[in-house]
Amino acid sequence: MSWTDERVEILKKMWGEGQSASQIAKELGGVTRNAVIGKVHRLGLSNRAGGGTKAAAKDKAPKAEAKKAAPARPQPKTESAAPPPQPKPVGGRRAIIPAGQPLPPQPSANEISPEALAKVNEVEKKSKKISLMELTERTCKWPVGDPATEDFWFCGLPVKAGKPYCEAHVGVAFQPMSSRRDRRR
């Protein structure tokens, strides 16, 4: 089936009258609803010019009058002194934050006990400071520093059995479940 000038005119006329793509496809024959929709968009007819059926016009008329009668809403300011109100949790679940709103302050995931932190600082002073190419299954793979700089290195001390890190770094990386649960509250 090809889109002849005659078929395009029928399409434009029916679309302007508010006929559905399915109805137009049936009338034209040999064309699908999706083909009609595609042609409508290629022709730039996506906005209907006509009012459609009488029932549709009756439904739209009260809405148009209501829009005219409604007072203009004040436009929201782009900058405000106070942050927007955050949604409240419902039924013990976390609230869903609408797109475009800033996230509320989050508890830090890196809360480490002072003892573990002191132990890590001591271990990092004694570490071998090895490169990525020097890592083996027996060396601690704890990264230290910024990977984008030349000061980046891995711990390199002997690993704890069955773990990728030395004893001090295992204490930081693998925390017991109860301490993680308590920290969230």
The residue from 47, 65, 83 where one domain ends is 65
What's the pLDDT band for 88 if we cut at 50, 70, 90?
Answer: low
What's the pLDDT band for 121 if we cut at 50, 70, 90?
Answer: confident
Domain count, the chain: 2
3-state secondary structure of 36: helix
Q: What's residue 55's pLDDT?
A: 45
How many of the other CB atoms lie within 10 Å of CB of 36?
Answer: 23
In a domain, 54, yes or no: yes
What's the pLDDT band for 68 if we cut at 50, 70, 90?
Answer: low
Q: Which two tokens stand for residue 162?
A: 């069955």
The dihedral sign for the CA sequence 124, 126, 130, 135: negative
Q: What are the φ and ψ backbone dihedral angles of 26, each rounded to 5 degrees?
A: -65, -45
In this prediction, what percent of the chain has a pLDDT beyond 90?
Answer: 27
In a domain, 178, yes or no: yes
Higher pLDDT, 57 or 169: 169
In a domain, 14, yes or no: yes
The residue from 65, 86, 103 where one domain ends is 65
Read off the pLDDT of each residue in 32-61 and give the average, rounded to a whole number: 70
- Average pLDDT value for the chain: 75
Taken as a whole, the chain contains a residue count of 185
Read off the pLDDT of each residue in 92-112 and give the average, rounded to a whole number: 61
Q: What's residue 134's pLDDT?
A: 93
Which range among 41-50, 90-99, 100-109, 142-151 has the greatest average pLDDT? 142-151
CA separation for the pair 95, 87 (Å, rounded): 6
Task: Inform me whether the pLDDT recorded for 184 exceeds 70.
Answer: no
Domain carrying residue 40:
5-65
